[in-house]
Amino acid sequence: MATLNTLRTRGALILTIFIGVALIAFLLQDLTSASSVFQSRRNRVGSIEGNSIDYMEFSVASDNLGQVMQTIYGRNSLSQAESDQVNDMTWDSYIRRYAFDPGYRRMGLAVGEAEQIDMVQGQYVSPVIASLFSSPTTGVLDNAALANFIATLDQDTTGRMAAMWDYAKGEMNSERTLAKYAALVGAGAFVNNLEVAGGVAAANNVYSGQYAMLPFTGIADSTVTVSSAEAREYYNAHKNTFRQGASRDVEYVSFELAPSEADYAEAAAHIEEVAAEFAAAADPMQYASINSQERTNPAYYTENQLTGDVLAIAFGERRGEMAGPTLTGDVYTMSRVAAMRTTPDSVGARHILLPTERAASADSIMNAIRGGADIFALAPLYSIDPTVDLGRFTPEIMVEPFAQSVIDARANEVFTVNTQFGTHVVQMTYKGPSVQKAQIATITYNVEPSAATEQIAYNKARDFLTAAAGSKEKFDEAVTSTGASRRVATIGQRDRDVSGLVNSREIVRWSFNTKPGTVSPIFDVDNNYVIAVLVRAKEAGIADIRDAAPTIVQRLRSEKKAAMLAEQMAGKSVAEVAAMSGATTGEIASLRTNALYDPVLGLEPAVIGVFNGLQAGAVSKPVEGYAGVYVVSVSSVDTTEEATDASERVRLEAETEASLSQRLMQALVEQTDIDDSRARFF
């Protein structure tokens, strides 16, 4: 019995421990799961139709597309603007995948294999293919270049050509599918007879008359009240007109990092030494290449390509002298003539570019062309450059030794030359008259803040940040106590920089990753130390009534003023209204109601529209415009025969089609559930 009691006691204890451990494990699992979800949300670039897009996934897709764009552009890197464009293109591809493509599949819209072949080599080539493989000289599809690209796909061991081709096919199919969808939607759009009749009347009836207007400014804003209830009622009835994208309101102060007087003096002394050495240098171009802060341009220039002091030292009265040093802004420049030579002003050439592994074929190709073979027929078989005819060009724009080769060659000569791109088989087609050209060696030197100057500016920014103490209230106090100049900016979700600050992407990212009231660290932006505070964070969707209130109050106040003015003008003629205090009046001639603008009335579509249907001698009722309330009278109506039912129907159909193509994509995106949070990362 004792053993049984002991077992019962210990069993209860064991069970209690087991349950406790299970509960702890459950809680830990829940916390771990919550942490995982939280981390996932933190790493989310956005979502489209409920499909979450992870940062790493998006980055890989963007990098892959960037590689494709480098192949298309023929470069090893992209500019910041091009990288931003790739980012947008990647995002658009996700919109197609998660929003458009499912709808296309449900509708049965697809691009078949035979259709794809026709889009590449048929009668109706895809505009995507045409743009990627068009001739740079003619702007039309280069079929030979396209055929050569496809034929050499398997020979590209890097895989970049295959990636480019996959991208081209994907874009081609997307463009064609969208075109089919647009055609279906367009087939449901039509112009009815009432629209045609109204359009003909608007185009053919020409009105003359007078107008009188009482401006809204004639009634003081303080005399027209708009209650909170009225504003709320208007807001609830017009919510969709207050849709907004995500944005951030920031305030910031800037501490300029500019050279001091001591920095300018030190720079002047340095430039004086450099100028003396430059003037005595036996090889000006070599000296400039070593001492200039910017890359020295080795090009040669004709007399009519140069201006000012540089023209004078190369071809004018100061030949052999040095131009400068001259200080413009914060940049010193000085120039000397490095060399003179007489070369053709322009040449013309065609070429076949062979990759290094096929350079051995160059001599046989050269001999074939010398023997009468057509270089355009040979190029698709051998050349990796789709551009055969280089046209006419200045030799110096080409890489060396290609440039020197075309300078030395005779007209119609065929020769080979090796460059960094491969082996060129070149056929000269033109050689212009020789002219004298000058090579200019230029040294540039930027006057920059010294370390001591930088430290002084940074100390000012640091002291301000210390005073701001991490809150909007302290930020305001610091602005007042230091006398710093406060600037305000609204940053949109797709903005790359803060307005007024160049290369300020870091501030944009910071603003979308912090909470209102937070004061930023010190940003080094555009030669300034910048400290910002996030004032408000506005998310995408319908604007809060507090943000919409100024617009609503102005709209309702204008409506009330319009009603007050219309009451004063009711039953009066144009002459009677014109005699009222503050009124403006004028003569109207040759007005057509199919326009939004009139030279006399300005941009007043509602006022212009009121003429429609008025007979000679008629006076309109008061009509609200943008500037005030108008009454108009018609003195004459002339009818022309410029528009017919047939011509107006064609015009309206074309207008409808153009409007459809412009609005279709916008409408599709507006109907898609999109959360774009890229501004937090990129």
Name the pLDDT band for 132 (thresholds 50, 70, 90).
Answer: confident
Q: What is the pLDDT of residue 41?
A: 61
254 CB-side CA count, 13 A: 18
The pTM of the full predicted model, rounded to 2 decimals, is: 0.67
C-alpha to C-alpha distance for 268 and 511, rounded to whole angstroms: 41
> What mean pLDDT, rounded, does the chain reach?
88
CATH topology of domain 247-258+450-538: Chitinase A; domain 3 (3.10.50)
Cα angle for residues 575, 576, 581 (degrees, 5° grid): 110
State pLDDT tens for residues 365-408. Answer: 999 999 999 999 898 888 888 889 999 998 888 888 999 999 99
Is the pLDDT reported for residue 5 higher than 70?
no
Contacts of 124 (CB under 8 A, 6+ apart): 118
Q: Measure Cα distances from 180 to 108, 110, 170, 515 in Å.
A: 11, 9, 16, 45
CB of 416 closer than 8 Å to CB of 362: yes
pLDDT of 671 = 87
Per-residue confidence (pLDDT) for residue 40, from 0 to 100: 55
pLDDT tens-digit readout, 582-596: 999 999 999 999 888
In this predicted structure, what is the pLDDT of residue 221? 93
* Residue 14 binned pLDDT confidence (cut-offs 50, 70, 90): very low
Tell me the mean pLDDT in the region 95-105: 93
69 has a pLDDT exceeding 80 = yes
Which residue, 586, 587, 626, 575, is CA-closest to 605?
626
pLDDT band at 137 (very low <50, low <70, confident <90, very high): low
Contacts of 649 (CB under 8 A, 6+ apart): 191, 196
Give kind and range of the element (H or E) at residue 493: none
SS3 588: strand
Averaged pLDDT for residues 308-314: 95
422 pairs with which residues across the strands? 419
Q: Would you state the structure tokens that stand for residue 7, as one six-digit string?
A: 């077992």
CB atoms within 10 A of CB 150: 14
Q: For residue 240, is pLDDT > 60?
A: yes
Is the pLDDT higher at 11 or at 398?
Answer: 398
List Cβ<8 Å contacts ≥24 apart for 614-619: 614/207, 619/573, 619/574
For residues 188-213, average pLDDT: 92
Q: Write the pLDDT tens digit of every residue in 492-527.
A: 988 989 988 988 999 999 999 999 999 999 999 988
**Taking residues 69-94, what's their average pLDDT?**
89
Percent of the chain with pLDDT over 70: 94
CATH topology of domain 346-432: Chitinase A; domain 3 (3.10.50)
pLDDT of residue 111: 92
Q: What's the pLDDT score for residue 63?
A: 93
Rounded distance, CA 172 to CA 165, Å? Answer: 10
Dihedral of CA 179/182/184/188: which sign?
negative
CA distance 9 to 125: 86
What average pLDDT score do residues 463-471 get? Answer: 93
Give the C-alpha separation, 121 to 143, whole Å: 8
pLDDT surpassing 80 at residue 252:
yes
- Check whether 458 has a pLDDT greater than 90: yes
Grade residue 22 by pLDDT with cuts at 50, 70 and 90. very low
pLDDT of residue 580: 95
Averaged over 661-679, what is the pLDDT?
86
Indicate whether 31 pLDDT > 80.
Answer: no
Say if residue 604's pLDDT is above 60: yes
Q: CB neighbours of 95 closer than 8 A, spacing ≥ 6?
A: 48, 669, 672, 674
State yes or no: pLDDT of 540 exceeds 90: no
Report how far residue 468's alpha carbon sits from residue 474's, in angstroms, rounded to the nearest whole number: 4
3-state secondary structure string, 115-150? HHHHHHHCCCCCHHHHHHCECCCCCCECHHHHHHHH
pLDDT over 90 percentage in the chain = 64
pLDDT of the residue at 136: 67
Q: Summarize pLDDT for 554-565 with one digit per residue, the tens.
A: 999 999 999 999
For residue 246, what are its two tokens?
């995500």
- How far apart are the C-alpha atoms of 454 and 217, rounded to whole Å? 52
